[in-house]
Amino acid sequence: MRKEIKITAVVVLVALVFSLLLTANVLAQEEDRYGGTLNAAFQMSVAHLDSDNSTDSLITAMMNHVYEGLFEFDENLNLTPHLAESYQVGEDGLVYEVKLRENVKLHNGQTMDADDVIASFRRWLELNNGGQLVAPYFDQVEKIDQFNIRFKFAEAYAPFLNILASPVSNQKFVVRAEEVVDEFGTDVIDRHVGTGPYKYEEWVPDQKLVLTRFEDYTPSSREASFFAGKRTAYLDEIVFNFIPDAQVRVSGVQTGQFHFAEEVPRDQYPLFEANQNIDNVIIYPDRMSMLIYNNAEAPFDNKYARQAIAYALDFEELGYAMIGDPQFWRLESALHEEGNPWHVPDAGEGIYGVYDPEKAKELLDQAGYDGDPIVILSGQDNQMERQGAIAIQDQLEEIGIDVELQLFDRPTVVERRSKKEGWHIHLSPFIKIVPDPQIHQGWTGTNKWISNWDSEESREMDQIFAEMLREVDQEKRYEIMERMQSKLWDSVPYFNILDYSRLHIKRAELKDFKGSWQPFFWNTYLE
Amino acid sequence: MRNYIIKRLLLLVPIILIVAVIAFFITNLMPGDPVRVILGNMATESEVARLEQSLGLDQPLIMRFFRWLANIIKGDFGESLYLNAPVSEVLFERLRPTLFIAVMAEVMGITSGLLLGILAAVNHRKVLDQFSITLSLFGISIPSFWLALMLMFVFSVNLGWFPVSGYEPFTEAGFGSFRYLILPAVTLAFMQAGLIARMTRSAMLDTLKQDYIRTAKSKGLSRKIIVFKHALKNSMLPVITVIGHNFAVLLGGTWIVETIFVIPGTGFMAINAIMRRDIPVIQASIIFVAVIYVIINLFVDLSYAFLNPKIRYH
C-alpha cells in the first residue's frame, strides 16, 4: 500500500514538473514572439493621417493600429463590439444604447470614456464621408454616464452600426482623445491619440510612418478575428514605407529590407513561389472591376444601350486581358462576394456573362444608337484599367461601334469623369468589401457619384434604398437587397465585370500574418 | 569682369520671371484636379467646393496669377496643397539629399570621364581607346531607370551590399547615409562619365595634333607633362561646357533616380507633385531648376576666362 502511494506520488510529481515545464515553455515561446521592427512597403503615400478629412482608405488601413472603433468586423464580416462592451437597439431603430468597455487606456495615459467617444463622434458626423451619410437622419448623441452612450435618430437608419465599422473610403468611426478633437476641431489632425495597440511616433511625408508598441494597451477579451477581438502588439515598431515602384518593393522583400510589400506584379507569382523566403498573399475578396456609364450622355441615357454593352462583352476574355492568370480573378455578378451575408447568388441571371453580340446589336438599334463614337475614359497607370479599356475597345469595335479611347493619368481621369459630358464609359476598380448594402447608395441612384443617372429608373432605385434604410429586420433588408440587385441588372447604370485580387508578398519570418482586405500587423510576429 | 557678372546676375531677373509666368500658366492649365486628388475617389461636390474655397482655387486664374507673382517676389512660393506646409520649407528640406547625390555623381562622373577620355586619346586606335569608346557609348545610351534597377538587382538584391531604397540624413546616420546614396549617384554618374569621356577624347585628340604639343615633344618633355600640363588644360574648354550643361541635365536625372530609390529629394518631390497636381510645388520645382541652370551657365562662362586668359568679358 505504502509502495503504491509512493509510486502515485512520484507519478504526480513527474506530471507536475512536466506540466510546469510545458507551461514555462509555452510562456517562453510567447515571450520569444515579442520584439523587432517590421518594415512594410506600401505603394502610395497619403496627404495626412486624419481619416475624417479624406476618403483615401489607406489612412484607415495604417491608422487601424493607432485608433479603434466602437465596432469592428471579424473575418466573416460579423459586426463585433470592440471598444463597445455591448449594445442595444430600440425596436423602432431610432435609439442605440452602447455600453463602453471600462479601463481602456488612451495613448495619453487617460481612460477612454463617453466624452472621448462623443467628441469623436460629433467630428465624424460633421466631417467624415460616412458621418455625412448618417447625419441627415441623426438627432443627437447623449451621455448616459461615464461609460454609457445613447445615439438617437430622427428617422430610422438601419445600416448605422455597419457604417460605424465600415472599411470603405475611411468611413469607419474611430475613437480619438477628446483633448485632440477639441484642439484641432475640423482641421487636419496631426497629433494622434487613440486606444490602439500601437501609438503614433513619426510621420515623414512621402517617406514613412513609424508606430511603436503601446505598452498600456487594453485588449478586448473577445477571440481575435481580423479587426475584431484581442489584439496583441508583438512588434516593437512598425514602419510603413511608401515605395511607388513595384519592382523596388519586390527587391526590398527579396533582400529582407521589407517584411511585407503591398501590390506587387502578379506575373512574378511563380518567382515568389520558388523563393522559400517569400510567401504569396492573395486576398479574396479584394477588388471588383466596375464599368460605369455616363447615364446622361446618349446613347447610354437609354437602358437598352447599357444592356447592349453587357451582351457585347466577353467577360472571360476581359479577365485574361485585364488581369491575366485566372487564379487572380473570377466572374462575379453580385456586388457582394460569396460568403458575405448580402451576397445575391443569381444576380444578373440572363444578362451577366451572356456573350451575345447579335442581341447587343438589336438592343443598340432599339436604343436608337446613331453610330457616334463612344468615348472610353480610363486610367493608364493601373493595369486593370488600361488593359481593360483596350480590350473593351476591341470587343466593341467587333460589333461595329466606333470607340475613342482616352487613357490619362489619375488626376486627369478624376477631373474628366466628374464632368457631365465628354465621356461615355469609365472603368474603375472598386473595393469589394462593402459591409452593408446601403453603402452602394453612395454611387447608385439619382445623380450619385459620377454616373449622372437621372431618370424614372434612378428614382425607383432611390425608393429601394429609402426602404432599405428604414428596414431594421435583417431578413427583410436582404429581400430588398435582392430587389436592388435585380433592378441594377435591369437598368444597368454600371456593372461589375469581375472580381480580382491584388498580390501582396511577405517574408517567411513574418508569422501568423492574416491576409485581410486591409493589411494589419497586430497578432503577427517576427521569428 | 565684375560688370559682366553683375550684368549676368541682373539678367537672371527677367529669365526667372519668364520661367515663372510659363510655369504658372502651364501648371494651372494642365488637366487634372488637385482637389479631387486630395479628397479621394468618393468626394462629394460640396466637399470639393469647400476645399477649393479654402485653397483659393475658386478665384479667377488671372487674380491668382498676380497674387502668386507678388508672393514669389517676396520669396513666398505658397503652401503645398498636399503636404500642408510652405513650399519653400519643403523645397529646402528636400534639397540636401538631391545635392548630395548630384555632387557625388558629378565627382564620380568627372573623375572617371576624364580618366577614360585621356586614356582613349593617348592610346588612340588601340584597345584602350576602343574600350573607352564602348563604355562611354553605354553610358550615353543606357536609360537611367533601367540602369538603376539593374544596379539594384546586382548590388542590393544579389550581393546585399546596399539597401534597395530609403534615405537617412547625414546628421542621423553619419557616413552610414552614403549607403543609400551610392547606387543613385553611380546611376547618374554613368551617363555623365560617358559624355565627358567622349568630349575629353575628341578635344584631347585635337589638342595633341597642335604645333605646341609637337614642340613640347621635341623639347624632350615627359609624356606625363605634355598630357596633363599642356594638352589637358587646353582641351578643357569644351569639356567644361559639357560638364556644366550636364549638371543641369543631371538634376533632371535625379527626378527619376530619386523616385526609383525613394530618396526624398527635390526630384522625388517634383514627381509626386505632378502625380497629385500639387501646383505650388510643381511651380517652385520648375523655377528652382531654371535658377540652377542659369547659375551653372554663368559659372561655365566665367570658367572659360580662367582656363583661357585670351578670353575677356566686357
Q: What is the pLDDT of residues B147-160, one digit of tens each?
A: 999 999 999 999 99
Which residues, 6+ apart, have CB-to-CB distance to A451 below 8 Å? A292, A293, A294, A295, A443, A444, A493, A494
A434 contacts A168 by C-beta, under 8 angstroms = yes
pLDDT tens for A418-440 read 889 999 999 999 989 888 999 89
Average pLDDT for A16-32: 71
**Does pLDDT of A8 surpass 80?**
no
Note whether A179 and A314 are same-domain residues: no
- Grid look-up 563604355 returns B135
Cβ distance A47 to B84 less than 8 Å, yes or no, reads: yes
At residue B55 the predicted structure's pLDDT band, cuts being 50, 70 and 90, is: confident
Residue A288, beta-bridge partner list: A430, A499
Residue A512 Cα distances to A28, A303, A526, angstroms: 17, 49, 9
- What total of structural domains would you count in chain A? 2
pLDDT tens for B87-105 read: 999 898 899 899 889 999 9
A378 Cβ neighbours under 8 A, 6+ residues apart: A385, A386, A388, A389, A405, A406, A407, A408, A413, A426, A427
Residue A330 Cα distances to A75, A165, A292, A326, A333, angstroms: 21, 27, 19, 7, 10
A313-325: burial string, b at 16+ Cβ within 10 Å, e else: bebeebbebbbbe
**Bridging pattern class, strands A374-379 and A403-408:** parallel
pLDDT at B11 over 90: no
Range B284-290 contact pairs with CB under 8 angstroms and sequence separation of 24 or more: B284/B77, B284/B87, B284/B88, B284/B91, B285/B91, B286/B19, B286/B22, B286/B23, B286/B27, B287/B16, B287/B19, B287/B20, B287/B23, B287/B72, B287/B77, B288/B91, B289/B248, B289/B251, B289/B252, B290/B15, B290/B16, B290/B19
- pLDDT > 90: what percent of chain B? 29
The verdict on a CB contact (< 8 Å) between B39 and A252 is: no
- Compute chain B's Rg from CA coordinates: 24
Residue A231 and residue A310 in one domain: no
Q: What is the CATH number of the domain that holds A225?
A: 3.40.190.10
My answer on whether A233 and A374 are in the same domain is no
Segments forming the whole domain that contains residue A292: 286-501
A454 CB burial (10 A radius; 0-12, 13-18, 19+): middle
Please indicate, yes or no, whether residues A261 and A323 belong to a single structural domain of this protein. Answer: no
Is the Cα dihedral B95, B98, B104, B107 positive or negative?
negative
pLDDT tens across B292-305, in order? 888 888 888 888 77
- Give yes or no: residues A487 and A522 share one domain: no
The chain-wide mean pLDDT, for chain A, equals 93
User: Does B259 sit within 8 Å of A257, measured CB to CB?
Assistant: no
CA pair distance A457, B300, nearest whole angstrom = 70
Residues of B in contact with A255 (CB under 8 A): 156-157, 160, 163-164
Please give the backbone phi and psi of residue B224, each rounded to the nearest 5 degrees, phi first: -60, -45
CA distances in angstroms from A434 to A69, A169, A317, A470, listed in the order given:
17, 10, 27, 19
- In angstroms, the first-to-last Cα distance of chain A is 51
> Domain spanning B93-307 has what CATH number?
1.10.3720.10
Q: Report the alpha-carbon distance of residue A414 to residue A412 in Å, rounded.
A: 5
With beta carbons under 8 A apart, name residues in chain A contacting B32: 409-412, 414-415
Predicted confidence at residue B254, as pLDDT, reads 86
Buried b (16+ CB within 10 A) or exposed e, A130-143: bbbbbeebbeebee
Q: Determine, yes or no, domain membership for A31.
A: no
Residue A20 in any domain: the answer is no
Three cell numbers, residue A334? 453580385
Instruction: Compute the residue count for chain B.
Output: 314
Rounded Cα–Cα distance for residues A284 and A498 (Å): 12
Provide the 10 A C-beta neighbour count for residue B304.
Answer: 16
Q: Which residues of B touch A (CB under 8 A)?
A: 31-34, 36-44, 47-48, 82-85, 149, 152-153, 156-157, 160, 163-167, 259-262, 264, 268-269, 272, 275-277
Cα–Cα distance, A347 to A366 (Å, whole number): 24
Residue A58 lies inside a defined structural domain of this protein: yes
Model confidence pLDDT, tens digit, residues A113-164: 999 999 999 999 999 988 988 999 999 999 999 999 999 999 999 999 999 9
Residues A358 and A212 placed together within one structural domain of the fold: no
Is residue B14 reached through a cis peptide bond, with omega within 30 degrees of 0 on the bond before it? no
Neighbours of B77 (CB within 10 A): 22
Residue B182: how many other CB atoms lie within 10 Å: 17
Pairing of strands A198-204, A95-100: unpaired
User: Are A192 and A319 members of one domain?
Assistant: no
Q: If you measure CA to CA, which chain A residue comes closest to B155?
A: A255
Residue B30 is predicted with a pLDDT of 84
- Is A247 found in the same domain as A373? no
Q: What is the pLDDT of residue A120?
A: 98
Chain A residues touching B160 at Cβ < 8 A: 255
Q: Which residues have a Cβ under 8 Å from the Cβ of A172 and sit 6 or more positions away?
A: A51, A60, A69, A130, A164, A165, A166
CATH 1.10.3720.10 location in chain B: 93-307
Quick one: pLDDT at residue B236?
Answer: 84
For residues A386 and A30, the model is more confident at: A386
Structural domain contains residue A175: yes
In a domain, A15, yes or no: no
Per DSSP, what are the bridge partners of residue A200?
A211
For range A30-49, the mean pLDDT: 91
- Measured between beta carbons, the chain B residues lying within 8 angstroms of A245 are 259-260, 262
Report pLDDT for B313. Answer: 65
Do A250 and A337 lie in a common domain? no
Nearest CA in chain A to B160: A255
- For residues B183 and B176, the answer to whether their CB atoms sit within 8 Å is no
Handedness of CA A258, A260, A263, A269 (dihedral sign): positive
Instruction: Report strand pairing: A237-242 vs A37-42.
Output: parallel
Identify the burial level of B249 via C-beta atoms within 10 angstroms of its C-beta, where 0-12 means exposed, 13-18 middle and 19 or more buried.
Answer: middle
Question: Are A383 and A267 members of one domain?
Answer: no
Which candidate in B161, B165, B177 is best for mutational testing of the A interface (most A CBs within 10 A)? B165
Q: How far is CA A97 from CA A90, A139, A337, A406, A473, in A?
A: 8, 14, 31, 51, 18
- Asked if the structure places residue A52 within a domain, the reply is yes
* Cβ atoms within 10 Å of A45's Cβ, excluding its own: 22
pLDDT tier at A26, thresholds 50, 70, 90: low
Residue A141's H or E segment, with its range, is strand A138-145
Cα distance between residue B200 and residue B204, in whole Å: 6
CATH number, domain containing residue A455? 3.10.105.10
Question: A362-401: b or e for each residue (b if 16 or more CB lie within 10 Å)?
Answer: ebbeebebeeeebbbbbbeebbbbbbbbbbbbebbeebeb
**pLDDT(A41) > 90:** yes
pLDDT digits (tens, 9 = 90+) for B69-83: 898 888 888 888 888
Range in A255-259, B39-43, B140-144, B277-281 the model is least confident about: B39-43
For the segment A452-464, the average pLDDT, to the nearest whole number, is 95
Q: What is the pLDDT of residue B314?
A: 63
CA distances from B43 to A124, A461, B46, B121 (A): 15, 21, 8, 64
- φ/ψ region of B274 (left if φ > 0, alpha if ψ in -120 to 50, else beta) reads alpha
A306 vs A293: CA distance, rounded Å: 8
The reply to whether A29 falls in a domain is: no
pLDDT in tens, B187-230: 999 988 999 999 999 998 998 888 888 898 888 888 888 888 88
Residues A242 and A310 in one domain: no
Most B-contacting residue of A206, A440, A447 (CB-CB within 10 A), to test interface:
A206
Longest dimension (CA), chain A: 105
Q: What is the pLDDT of residues A173-221, one digit of tens each?
A: 999 999 999 999 999 999 999 999 999 999 988 899 999 999 999 999 9
Q: Which residues are registered as beta bridge partners of A293?
A: A425
pLDDT tops 90 at residue A329 = yes
Closest Cα in chain A, distance from residue B107 (Å): 26
> Which 8-state DSSP code applies to residue A36?
-
The crossing angle, in degrees rounded to 10, of helices A383-398 and A315-322 is 140
Tell me, yes or no, whether A445 lies in a domain. yes
A199/A297 same-domain check = no
Chain-chain contact of A411 with B36 (C-beta, under 8 angstroms): yes
The pLDDT score that the predictor gives to residue B16 is: 86
Q: What is the pLDDT of residues A273-284, one digit of tens each?
A: 999 999 999 988
Q: What is the pLDDT of residue A35?
A: 95
Q: What is the pLDDT of residue A27?
A: 64
Query: Smallest Cα–Cα separation from A220: which of A106, A120, A103, A107?
Result: A103
